[in-house]
Structure 1
């Protein structure tokens, strides 16, 4: 019974700060479990109701409780996937602009050591 509450990775936060990592993790897990057709847009792809339900359970288990309540009425995993994408996919644009800004304004002389500089560069 304790296995039901154990998550495979970090759940999607309410404000989507970890959205990019979460999407990558969910896609990889769904591919590994052969459930990825349940979230894809392909119209010729017929997915069984059991696979849809399994994918929906997996996605809902890995989103924050508040988001679970908000999307409680959503029954189709593809529709939920599209809704979450529409809501949080702008994170790419925000992080890219921030990373470019940090990269352009970083100066080696502002750091006390080479390790500190390298650490900052790797975080961008």
Structure 2
């Protein structure tokens, strides 16, 4: 029974605060099942497909909403009712999303992935509200909000004339990884300190003593040889 009640994605809350995410999940799920047309007005889908879509919709809404719409068995009508009820979220979310975008700065994040996650979250909200941001918009937002200490790096990226935000993201992740490695190396062995010798390396002091003894021994041997040769 637990498998039957398991949700494929979070249910629509009674307040409709997650309506944007819920819509996206529903559309993807219905498309994967081949029954997306069932929520379109005036569709000619089979009763079987409509019933299947109806089950998915009812299972993924709040219990109070399930009770309220318990008599609704047409997925397109249910979809339309929910849209008219919660679609006002666009008007509520748009000003907030625009403000988040205006205040977004790359330099405020410690990790590249954290920044990228916020970019896509804001862009997704704006797109839902009818505002689409391009790759150029995201690239410019990123480069123009570098920290002042990274102006040289910013110039380098601009000279590369990157066209895709994904390409800039990849470059930033590589730079971040190299920088982390550099910092770890610096912490383990500060600049100017000697490297840790390998386990099989010869000690410098011992090598010096060995060399001196070898030279002395060679000199004595050569002297004796010459002396004996003279005799």
| Equivalences, count | 117
Aligned to 1:38: 38
The match for 1:97 among 95, 98, 104 is 95
State the distance in 2 between where 1:95 and 1:27 align.
20
Aligned to 1:115: 109
Larger radius of gyration: 2
The match for 2:46 among 45, 48, 57 is 48
Offset at residue 51 of structure 1 (A): 0.7
State the distance in 2 between where 1:14 and 1:83 align.
14
State the distance in 2 between where 1:40 and 1:59 align.
14
* 3-state SS in 2 of match to 1:84: helix
Aligned to 1:70: 68
Offset at residue 114 of structure 1 (A): 2.8
Structure 1 length normalisation: TM-score?
A: 0.82
Structure 2 length normalisation: TM-score?
A: 0.46
Greater RCO (Cα-Cα under 8 Å, separation 6 or more): 1
Aligned to 2:8: 8
State the distance in 1 between where 2:104 and 2:54 align.
47
The match for 1:81 among 75, 79, 82 is 79
State the distance in 2 between where 1:107 and 1:29 align.
32
Closer/same/farther in 2, CA of residues 52 and 107 from structure 1, 3 Å limit: closer
Closer/same/farther in 2, CA of residues 96 and 76 from structure 1, 3 Å limit: same
Closer/same/farther in 2, CA of residues 59 and 8 from structure 1, 3 Å limit: same
Structure 2: stretches of 5+ with no match in the other structure = 123-231
Offset at residue 92 of structure 1 (A): 1.8
Structure with the larger helix share: 2
State the distance in 2 between where 1:25 and 1:107 align.
26
Offset at residue 120 of structure 1 (A): 7.8
* 3-state SS in 2 of match to 1:9: coil
* 3-state SS in 2 of match to 1:97: helix
State the distance in 2 between where 1:107 and 1:60 align.
37
Deviations 1:13-67 (A, max 9, x none): 00001000000000010011011111112x3x42111111110000000000000
Deviations 1:81-123 (A, max 9, x none): 000000011112211111223444x386xxxx7326x858926
